[in-house]
Amino acid sequence: MPAVSDDPTNVLNCTSLRQQQLSTLLNPYGIKIKPVADNESIPGSFFGEREAGLVGNTLYLRNDTPVHSALHESGHYICMDPARRIKLDTDAEGDYDEENGVCYLQILLADHLPNIGKERMMTDMDSWGYTFRLGSAKAWFKNDAADAKQWLINHNIINIQQQPTWQYRKN
């Protein structure tokens, strides 16, 4: 298993320990982690390569899958409407508002993983190539994401204190 420093983008990966931590974190949402062997293709991966895969409520991860990818795909499962969740296979679909909600939620969820947190999540998102009109995930989160936060509150995914409710979208 490569060390984080061996990663050319220097993002945190889903090592076995982190997969266990993610399993605990995502359990309230009914999301199950399924490890994928190194160098095997990841089922349900929309982008392929190392990116997390999502089929139904199963999140597929390899040791080299970035944590940000695991949280992003989980965020799609949490934020999508029930009709899409039932038939979910690889492509989460979703609209602009939902995508912003997913990005915001993955940043918040990172605070609930040991030794990761919001700041590291935003750094990893920038390193990987997420794009935000203010130039960085941090600038977006702090100065331009009120609509994403409100969308998550409206769907009871987070509360007003920006803490997860541990419920997924119901409508």
* Sign of the torsion formed by the C-alpha atoms of 18, 108, 160 and 94: negative
Average pLDDT of the chain is: 93
Is position 171 within any domain? no
Q: What are 15-69's pLDDT values in tens digits?
A: 999 999 999 999 999 999 999 999 899 999 988 889 999 999 999 999 999 999 9
Contact 22, 14 (CB under 8 A): yes
Is position 1 within any domain? no
How many domains, the chain?
1
- Of the chain, the percentage scoring pLDDT greater than 90 comes to 87
Q: What are 122-140's pLDDT values in tens digits?
A: 999 999 989 898 999 999 9
pTM, full prediction: 0.93
Is position 45 within any domain? yes
Is position 77 within any domain? yes
Is position 6 within any domain? no
Domain that holds residue 150: 12-154
Contact 29, 166 (CB under 8 A): yes
Is position 4 within any domain? no
What lies within 8 Å, CB to CB, of 5 at 6+ separation is none
Mean pLDDT of 107-113: 98
